[in-house]
């Protein structure tokens, strides 16, 4: 392989990627859900080929995958015994805020609130962002307040591409085979819908899709989606007495009974929640969609029983209405599977320390592509990339966090070489 003509910094790459609109769409049936995600996918493919990575490909669903071959010489103690390590980030940004015309602003943070220049009503408040205290005197990146920034997950994309340039160069550290993947539609829950595990050909993987410097993730929520539908009866309101069954009123009686202590606004850490996030309707038909979240499947079952109890309580109040609950599984906590392969998280923890960062295992109050990939058989914990306040115009990125993510990845492939050297024979995963 040949070295890149110019070794760009991770920040350089991030600023370029952030300006490309890759917002995904919730209701589009196809993958990728938006064609504009392919703009970044094609750029990454061209950049990988420019680095000399010959085994790079973009498929019809917008997945970019590439292989950086091992550079271990045949006489090395780890030759033929190193796990194939995968590095993954997602291309898309959230549908929650515009990703068009992003204007990144890089500056040294001096403390206090940050009022964004493009919309003076948008303020990154110091009291709401305790991590800002650690950034005084350091560089951060924000948008101008009219869009999100896109650190979720273009910081991860930039970190992996910067590391790829290092591994593909003539001065690369010794490493085993490294697989790269950039996925579409993570933000709308379809990032692994067409992920080809056989083609990816990794034994272990890591998503670079986290936030605060040093935060590592091996636990996510287990998640279900619930829909409560109320079937009523409509008639002209002037003739409604004794005839109309107002589905909206019945639905309101359901929503008001949801426990406030189980709302996202009142929970943290390992506490689960029930979150009504979308409602539609009129007199004859009304429905609400709810997110059910808990770190244990048993907790999800309790939440379902709670909803069933609410419906039993509401039905007698609206005798002509028909109330229906539907619950569908979404994703499951990756904790139990990762506990079976402690080398995967142990290698990440050691690499983080070698990067000069104190590792902290923090539960994700959400999900990542790693949740589903782990369930599919590819153990995939998550790595920080330096971003904060995802999915909105107050998003910001700590440049130090981004740079340390690159360094952690570099040490990670080195740790796996050391683990391979300790094996008596055979590849890691056999």
State yes or no: pLDDT of 84 exceeds 80.
yes
4 band by pLDDT with thresholds 50, 70 and 90: very low
Predicted pLDDT at 428 = 60
Query: What pLDDT shows up at residue 26?
Result: 86
Percent of the chain's residues with pLDDT above 70: 97
Give me the mean pLDDT over the 94-112 stretch.
Answer: 96
Per domain, the residue ranges of the chain are: 10-219+334-422, 222-331
Give the pair of three-digit tokens for residue 401: 């966090």
- Reported as a single tens digit per residue, the pLDDT across 385-418 is 999 999 999 999 999 999 999 999 999 999 999 9
- How much is the average pLDDT of 277-296? 96
Helix or strand or coil: residue 211?
coil
Using CA atoms, how far apart are residues 399 and 385, in angstroms rounded to an integer?
9
Backbone φ/ψ region at 264: left (φ over 0), alpha (ψ -120 to 50), beta: alpha
Average pLDDT over residues 76-100: 95
The pLDDT tens digits for 353-386 are 999 999 999 998 887 899 899 999 999 999 999 9
pLDDT at position 427 is: 60
> Does 306 score more than 90 pLDDT?
yes
Cβ contacts of residue 290 below 8 Å, gap of 6+? 225, 226, 227, 228, 258, 274, 275, 276, 277, 307
Eight-class DSSP state of 173 = P
Q: Average per-residue pLDDT in the chain?
A: 94
DSSP E strand boundaries for 25-177: 55-58, 64-68, 85-90, 105-108, 114-115, 123-124, 139-142
Q: Determine the 3-state secondary structure of 194 from DSSP.
A: coil
Q: Above pLDDT 90, what percent of the chain? A: 89
Q: Which residues are catalytic?
A: 92, 186
CA 207 to CA 383: how far, in whole Å? Answer: 6
Give yes or no for residue 430 having a pLDDT over 90: no
| 222-331 has CATH 3.30.70.360 classification | yes
Please write the tens of the pLDDT for every residue from 172-208: 999 999 999 999 999 998 899 999 999 999 999 999 9
Answer whether residue 59 shows pLDDT above 60. yes
Tens digits of per-residue pLDDT, 134-150? 999 999 999 999 999 99
What pLDDT score does 173 carry?
94
Question: What pLDDT band is residue 60 in, cutting at 50, 70 and 90?
Answer: very high
Kindly tell me if the per-residue pLDDT of 6 is higher than 70: no
Which pLDDT does position 1 carry in this prediction? 47
3-state secondary structure of 137: coil
Confidence of residue 426 (pLDDT cuts 50, 70, 90): low
Q: How far apart are CA 229 and CA 379, in angstroms?
A: 37
Whether the Cβ atoms of residue 349 and residue 216 lie closer than 8 Å to each other: yes
Average pLDDT over every residue of 83-101: 96
Per-residue pLDDT, 54: 82
Average pLDDT over residues 314-324: 97
Distance CA 292, CA 208 (A): 25
Q: Does domain 10-219+334-422 have CATH number 3.40.630.10?
A: yes
DSSP 267: -
- For the segment 208-252, what is each residue's pLDDT rounded down to a tens digit? 998 899 999 999 999 999 999 999 999 999 999 999 999 999 999
């Amino acid at each position: 392989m040949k070295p890149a003509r110019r070794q760009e910094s991770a920040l350089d790459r991030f600023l370029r990627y952030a300006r490309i609109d890759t917002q995904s769409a919730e209701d589009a049936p196809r993958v990728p859900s938006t064609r504009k995600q392919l703009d970044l996918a094609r750029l990454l493919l061209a950049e990988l080929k420019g680095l000399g990575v010959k085994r790079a490909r973009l498929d019809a669903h917008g997945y970019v995958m590439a292989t950086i071959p091992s550079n271990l010489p045949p006489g090395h103690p780890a030759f033929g015994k190193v796990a194939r390590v995968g590095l993954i980030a997602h291309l898309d940004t959230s549908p929650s805020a515009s990703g068009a015309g992003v204007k990144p602003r890089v500056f040294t943070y001096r403390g206090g609130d940050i009022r964004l220049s493009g919309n003076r009503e948008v303020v990154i408040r110091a009291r709401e962002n305790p991590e800002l205290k650690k950034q005084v005197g350091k560089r951060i990146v924000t948008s101008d307040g009219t869009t999100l920034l896109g650190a979720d997950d273009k910081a991860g994309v930039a970190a992996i591409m910067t590391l790829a340039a290092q591994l593909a160069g003539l001065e690369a550290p010794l490493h085993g085979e490294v697989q790269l993947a950039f996925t579409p539609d993570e933000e709308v829950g379809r990032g692994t819908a067409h992920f080809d595990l056989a083609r990816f050909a990794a034994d272990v993987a890591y998503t670079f899709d986290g936030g605060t410097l040093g935060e590592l993730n091996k636990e996510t929520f287990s998640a279900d989606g619930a829909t409560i539908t109320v079937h009523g009866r409509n008639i002209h309101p002037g003739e409604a007495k004794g005839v109309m069954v107002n589905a909206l009123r019945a639905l309101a009686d359901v929503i008001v009974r949801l426990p406030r202590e189980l709302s996202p606004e009142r929970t943290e850490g390992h506490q689960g929640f029930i979150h009504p996030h979308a409602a539609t309707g009129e007199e004859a038909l009304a429905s609400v969609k709810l997110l059910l979240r808990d770190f244990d499947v048993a907790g999800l079952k309790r939440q379902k029983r709670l909803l069933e109890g609410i419906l039993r309580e509401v039905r007698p109040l609206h005798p002509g209405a028909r109330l229906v609950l539907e619950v569908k599984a979404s994703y499951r906590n990756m904790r139990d599977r990762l506990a079976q392969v402690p080398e995967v998280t142990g290698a990440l923890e050691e690499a983080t320390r070698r990067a000069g960062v104190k590792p902290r295992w923090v539960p994700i109050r959400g999900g990542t592509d790693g949740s589903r990939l782990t369930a599919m058989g590819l153990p995939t914990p998550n790595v920080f990339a330096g971003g904060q306040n995802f999915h909105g115009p107050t998003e910001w990125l700590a440049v130090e966090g981004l740079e340390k993510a690159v360094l952690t990845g570099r040490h990670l492939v080195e740790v796996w070489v050391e683990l391979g050297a300790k094996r008596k024979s055979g590849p890691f995963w056999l």
